[in-house]
Structure formats: structure tokens, C-alpha cells
Amino acid sequence: MEFDYLATVLLSSLSSASILLIATLGLAVVFGLMGVINLAHGEFLMMGAYSALVATQIGIPYPLAIPFAVLVTMAFGALVEVLIIRRLYGRIFDTMLATWGLSIVMYQVAVLIFGTVTPGIGMPSYHIAIGDYQLALYPIMMILVAAAMAGFIYLLMTKSSYGRKARAAIQQPDMARAIGIESSQINTLTFSVGCGLAGFAGAILLPIVPATPSMGFAFVIKSFLAVVVAGPVTLTGSVVTAVGLGGGSSITASFLTSVAGDVFFFVLTAVLLWLFPFGISSKWRKKM
């Protein structure tokens, strides 16, 4: 086997794993910190993509359209938390049902406004060469984006005053209120941050995955499974599972077929959940 081809496959697989991680981190924050299973996560990703697309269509440069998309999804996420999620804490099945209904509404609204097919913005035409093979540069850049996102979330949740308050508000809400932490405001902000991360994912992946009402479906199942397999150490665990499951699936698809890659992903997920029913990180000492 040619070394150049092997290097190309490995780099492409790491890129695919990074794309999965980018799409997963918002869900990891909401599920890991708040215990909320947001089944509308894919639609928040879709909202971010459409927000960035509309921004570019009215003349905003694409790099500035990304923070615009983040702000839009954060604002809508805060509204959803206040109107829906806040009333359902501790009722996980009710939360799943509510967010599933929200996902249907968001999908249908997107269809009514944008239709089922939407033009993309096109991927930058830069490439990197590895011997006789070429790879598009933009997907490879997602490796750096995923690493930056994971680092940002880790620092936000462990080193900032907000992060300490957020973990306290979820883990010990009564004690948090006793020392003056406004749990309701912190929870709203945390859910908003998770939705903003989903919006960022949709916006940053727009050149790779064109905006359509159903674009979130391509990510939400694998993202949810990655978070479940990760277990209680959501951030570090999600990085490991996204790289392992996503990268392994991509390598399998490169040598066999895309269907074989998906089979690898779901079979390995089932095996890991059988071996580690509480997630691979259930016995880790690290808690973030």
C-alpha cells in the first residue's frame, strides 16, 4: 500500500472525525451539564447554517456571518429554555418529547421559508497535495476548528466564573441558590451556549454541507450516540468517541464502502455500550 495513499486516508478520516466532533460538542454541553436530551439539536445546527447563508446573501462576509449565526441560535435557544425546557427539568422523557416536537416545527418552518433545496456558498478551492493525491483544504481545517472548540469549552467550563457557577447550578441547585447563584439564569445561559455551539457548527460546516431543512438528520443520530457512549465525562469523552467512532467509520468507508463505514459505527457503538453501559468515561477520575 502506498504511503501517500495511507496518509491521505488517515488525514481525511481525522477530518471526518473532527466534523462529527464539531457537530457533537453543543449536544455534549447541554446533555452533560444539564441532563437535557435535546432532540432538536440537528435543527439548531440547521438554523445556524441558514442564518449564515442568509447573512451572506445580504452582503455580510462569510467570516462575519458565522458569529451572526451563533448569536441567532443562542437567542433562540434562550427563548426555548425559558418557555419550554425550564418547566421540564428532571423529567427526561417529557424533555425528549418536547424537543422532538420542537424539531418538527423548526423543520417545517424551514421548508415553508426556504423550500427543500437551498443553494450553498461553495467550498474554497484551495487544496493540499500529498504525493499524487490532493485533499480540499477547508475540510482539513476542521481539525483545527474542532481542537479550538474543545479547548474553548474546556477553559470556559473549568477556568471561568461562569463555568463554575454552571456546574454548581446543575449539580447542587439548592446549595447554589444558598450562596447567591441565580440557577435559572445560569441554566438559560448554559442551554443558550449549547445551542450557539450547534449554530456555530452549522455555519462553519456550510461550505461542506449545504443548508437544507434535513441537514441536521445527517449529524444528530451519530452525535447523540457519541455523547451517550462518552458517558459522564462529557467533554473529554465526546472527543474520544467522536475521533474513535467517526475516524474508524471513515477509514472503513475509505477501504470498503460508505455503508460498511456506517455499519462499523453502529456496531462499535453497540459493543461499547455493552461493555460500558454507563459510558466509557464512567470510571475516569477526570470529571469534565
Q: Tell me the three-class secondary structure of 174-215, residue by residue.
A: HHHHHCCCCHHHHHHHHHHHHHHHHHHHHHHCCCCCCCCCCC
Q: Among 105-109, 183-187, 283-287, where is mean pLDDT lowest? A: 283-287
Q: Among 23-37, 53-67, 117-131, where is mean pLDDT lowest? A: 117-131
Buried b (16+ CB within 10 A) or exposed e, 178-216: eeebebeebbbbbbbbbbbbbbbbbbbbbbebbbbbebb
Q: Give yes or no for residue 173 having a pLDDT over 80.
A: no
Task: Evaluate whether 242 touches 15 at the Cβ level (below 8 Å).
Answer: no
User: CB neighbours (10 Å) of residue 247?
Assistant: 20
pLDDT value for 107: 93
Helix 41-57 with 62-83: angle, nearest 10 deg: 140
Q: Which of helix, strand or coil describes residue 128?
A: strand
Q: Which of 55-59, 74-78, 132-136 has the highest mean pLDDT?
A: 74-78
pLDDT value for 73: 96
pLDDT category, 90, cuts 50, 70, 90?
A: confident
Q: Give yes or no for residue 288 having a pLDDT over 70.
A: no
pLDDT value for 80: 94
In this structure, what are the phi and psi dihedrals at residue 134, rounded to the nearest 5 degrees?
-125, 140
pLDDT value for 6: 83
pLDDT value for 51: 94
Q: How far apart are alpha carbons 24 and 147 in whole angstroms? A: 13
Q: Give yes or no for residue 189 having a pLDDT over 80.
A: yes
Q: Give yes or no for residue 209 having a pLDDT over 70.
A: yes
Q: How far apart are alpha carbons 226 and 99 in whole angstroms? A: 19
The domains of the chain are located at: 3-220
Mean predicted confidence (pLDDT) in 41-67? 93
The whole-chain average pLDDT of the chain stands at 85
Task: Give tens-digit pLDDT for 98-139.
Answer: 999 999 999 999 999 988 777 777 777 777 877 777 888 888
Task: Give tens-digit pLDDT for 141-165.
Answer: 999 999 999 998 888 888 887 777 7
Q: Which of helix, strand or coil describes residue 133?
A: strand
Q: How far apart are alpha carbons 99 and 40 in whole angstroms? A: 5
CA-nearest of 25, 13, 9, 8 to 245 is 13
pLDDT value for 128: 82
Q: Give yes or no for residue 176 having a pLDDT over 90.
A: no
Q: Among 67-76, 100-109, 224-233, where is mean pLDDT lowest? A: 224-233
Pairing of strands 127-130, 133-136: antiparallel
Task: Evaluate whether 17 touches 243 at the Cβ level (below 8 Å).
Answer: yes
- Find where cell 501517500 sits: 4
CA-nearest of 198, 201, 195 to 142 is 201
